[in-house]
Amino acid sequence: ESGTIPSGVGFIGLGIMGRGMVARLLTETSAGSPNVPLICWNRTASKCQDLVDAHSDKNIVIASSPAEVVSQCCVVYSILSTPEASLSVFEATDGTLSGVHKYSAIIDCATLAESDMTRMAEQVKTRGGRFMEAPVSGSKGPAESGTLIFLCAGDRTVFEEVAVTAGLSAMGKASHFLNEAVGHGTRAKLVVNSLMGTMMAAYSEGLALSEAVGLPAEKMVEIIGQGAVASPLYALKGPKMIAGNHAPNFPLKHAHKDMALAKDMAAGAGAEYSVMNSAEALFRSARGGTLANEDFSAVHEVVKAVHEVASK
C-alpha cells in the first residue's frame, strides 16, 4: 500500500435509490470533477454506463469490482437492495471489504439487519478503515430531489468530515447522528419504516371501508387531508391507490423486508407491537402473491380483495 491518499469518491449500488443519490453528488459536490473522480460499481454494469452517458461532462470511472472502488477512494457510499445482496458484494473475493485501506470511510446507506451493520463495521475496523451506517428515510423521489433523511451511527469522525457533510447535504435534507454504536441508525430506520407500512395498511383499510359503505373515495382522501390525520404519505398515495397505480417508488417486497426486521427487533426488545404485527402479516400476504415488485401502496389490492370476497 502506497502512502498516496486516494482522490476519488466511491458509489456502490445504482438501483432505484442509488441512481438518484449519485446524481446529486455529481451535480451538487466536487465528485466527478477533474481532480475528484466519481468511481462507481453496480451488479448490473449497464447502469454504470447509463450514469456516464447521463453525465458526459463529469469525470466518472466505472470500476471492475467493489474492491477497486474502495481502493481508489477515501469516502465510499454503498446502497444495495437486500441483506443478501449487501453481504455478497461486501464479502466477495473482490468485494468492498477486500479494498479497505487506512484512509477508507465506508458509509452504508442500505436498510439491513442490525447484526449485518455491526458485522460490517467490525470487519472494516479490523482492516484499519472507518465505518458509518447511514440508512436513508425516503424513496425514489426524495433520492432524486436530494431530500432524503440520513440516520447515522458509528464513527463520528466520518460524520464530521467535510467531504461527507457535503455529500450528505447534497443527497439529503437532514442528517442525524444517533450514537457511536453501530446499529442505532438501523434501529431508527426500522421504527420509521414499520410505522410507515402500518400507516399505509391503515389508510388502505380506511379507503376500502369508505368504498364498502358507499362513500366516494376521492372525497374521503380530500377530507382526511384536511384534518389532524393528514399525511404527506396519504396525499401522495391515496389517489394512486384509488387508481390502482402502483408503479414502484418503494417496492412492496422491500417494505415488507423492513417490517419483518422491525418485528424481530420488537420481539427481541420485548416491546408491544401488536398493531404493527398485523400490518406486517398483511404485507407478507401481499408479497407472497404477484405484488412483490409493485409499490408498497399495492397492499391496497390485498385489502380490497378481502372486502370483495367478504361481500360476495
Catalytic (active-site) positions: 189
**Distance between CA atoms of 184 and 78, rounded to whole angstroms?**
18
Asked if 160 and 132 touch (Cβ cutoff 8 Å), the reply is no
247 three-class SS: coil
DSSP assignment of 78-126: E--SSHHHHHHHHHSTTSTGGG--TT-EEEE-S---HHHHHHHHHHHHH
Could you tell me which of 116, 38, 100 has the C-alpha nearest to residue 67? Answer: 100
| CA dihedral angle for residue 81, residue 85, residue 67, residue 115, rounded to 10 degrees | 90
- The burial class, CB within 10 Å (0-12 / 13-18 / 19+), for 133 is buried
Neighbours of 85 (CB within 10 A): 15
